[in-house]
Amino acid sequence: MSVKTSGRENWGSKVGFILAAAGSAIGLGNIWKFPYIAGENGGAAFIFIYLICIAVIGLPVLIAEVLLGRTTQRNPVGAFKALSNSPYWTAIGAMGVIAGFVILSFYGVVAGWSFGYIFEAIKGSFYEFEQPNSAADFFGSLTSNVAWIVGFLALFMCLTMFIVYSGVQKGIERGSKILMPLLLIILIILMIKGITLDGSEKGIAFILQPDWSLVSGESVLLALGHAFFTLSLGMGAMMTYGSYMSKKDSIPGASLQIVFLDTFIALIAGVAIFTAVFATGLDPAAGPGLIFQTLPVVFTKMPGGYIFSIMFFLLLTIAALTSSISLLEVVVAYFVDEKKWARKKAVIVFGTVTFLVGVPSALSFNLIADVKLFGLNFFDLADWLASNILLPVGGLFISVFVAWVWGFDKVLVELKRGAESLFDNYPWIITFWKIFIKYFSPVLIFLVFLHSIGVLDLIIDLFK
């Protein structure tokens, strides 16, 4: 590989890489989305399917993405360019950079709510609620306030920019080393609090008892799609982080740890949230409103709720922040590597651009709520475009490229770097990875994609 990488930054340590990548993976997807989709789709039954998806698609694709980054020491565009020299494959990398903008624009809005809720928790605003309805009205009044919603989006983007601005080691790695342990400690405290509440057993049963009657074909596809989003796959975030990784470290080993941390956090977030919701006798199937409408009411009813509410929204904001920095880093790395921009300039320019792209998403809750494209407002459109089109298509092509285009002999040489003893002792790992990345991942991702654009449903209807 003759790619010039002089002067490019690297992670200071293997643990720095693992924490940063786990920080990217662990985000709103784990704490906000996973608990309610698991709850609505059969609890442990859904979790079982989700774990299979993580093992069969998530882990193999994560390994492939990190490998592409580490081999080329480049951002997604540069990585595909270096290995394929084809404009078509380079376009897949470019799609990742675009996905970075699109995701950050709506992700930043929800992260901004979470940030704003820390202040509401400190002010004690939640004590005014008796019923989820009043919490829902309160949420509605905040999100319809343009200054509040745009202001917190701006503040959250400033935090994101501040960390990325300081560089790979001094910003992202240092930030992750402080924020990730803090996140884990807060979540464990909240979980212990949840488990020790009277009536918490019902919450544990809800999330851990399999109810196969709630599992449908739709749930399987949901599990597959979520496995993707939660591991930050399909848009080159893990490729970019992998590009700062040392060739002395084992990619399969690090990837396994990232997947483990991500899954573990999602599970304990589910336990912490549902034990508290059930112990206060509220409705568990609150869907996406669970966090911003149901939980504030839970906190008012719980002993010590004031402090736990602050901790919870701090936790959610930290989780979102360590993910959003990875999204901005994809865009920044592209301009630094390919366009030779200074990091600081790239951060300021593209942090600001992403904020501006996020404004229509923020205004979808107030001023331009009625402006719809394909029946969706800007916020839903950005979410839909990223989750249903850009990420699955990106992931599909990443698997196909690594498995079929790059040349499997070269792939194995790179994969074995830093993992020599692992492969000597367990040669079957390669066989499994090969089967998964060549066959399972592309086929399953393709099915999810067909489903998300509605084609699969049409085909299924034809056979009915």
Nearer to ligand PFF, 29 or 132 (CB): 29
Q: What angle do CA 3, 4, 8 make, to 5 degrees?
A: 120
Nearer to ligand PFF, 18 or 25 (CB): 25
Q: How far apart are CA 156 and CA 108, in angstroms?
A: 7
Phi (first) and psi of residue 83, to 5 degrees = -90, -25
Nearer to ligand PFF, 197 or 269 (CB): 269
Q: How far apart are CA 387 and CA 378, in angstroms?
A: 14
CB of 196 to ligand PFF, least distance (A): 28
CB of 33 to ligand PFF, least distance (A): 7
DSSP letter assigned to residue 376: B
Cβ–Cβ under 8 Å, residues 397 and 90: no
Q: How far apart are CA 200 and CA 451, in angstroms?
A: 37
Smallest Cα–Cα separation from 292: which of 271, 317, 266?
Answer: 317
CB of 54 to ligand PFF, least distance (A): 12
Cβ–Cβ under 8 Å, residues 63 and 402: no
Cβ–Cβ under 8 Å, residues 34 and 269: yes
Nearer to ligand PFF, 140 or 287 (CB): 287
DSSP letter assigned to residue 42: T
Nearer to ligand PFF, 230 or 364 (CB): 230
CB of 21 to ligand PFF, least distance (A): 10
Q: How far apart are CA 136 and CA 141, in angstroms?
A: 9
CB of 99 to ligand PFF, least distance (A): 7
CB of 233 to ligand PFF, least distance (A): 7
Q: Is 120 exposed, middle or buried (0-12, 13-18, 19+ CB in 10 A)?
A: buried
Nearer to ligand PFF, 300 or 322 (CB): 322
CB of 306 to ligand PFF, least distance (A): 27
Binding residues (CB under 6 A) for ligand PFF: these are 24-25, 27-30, 103, 229-230, 232, 235, 237, 323, 326-327
Nearer to ligand PFF, 25 or 79 (CB): 25
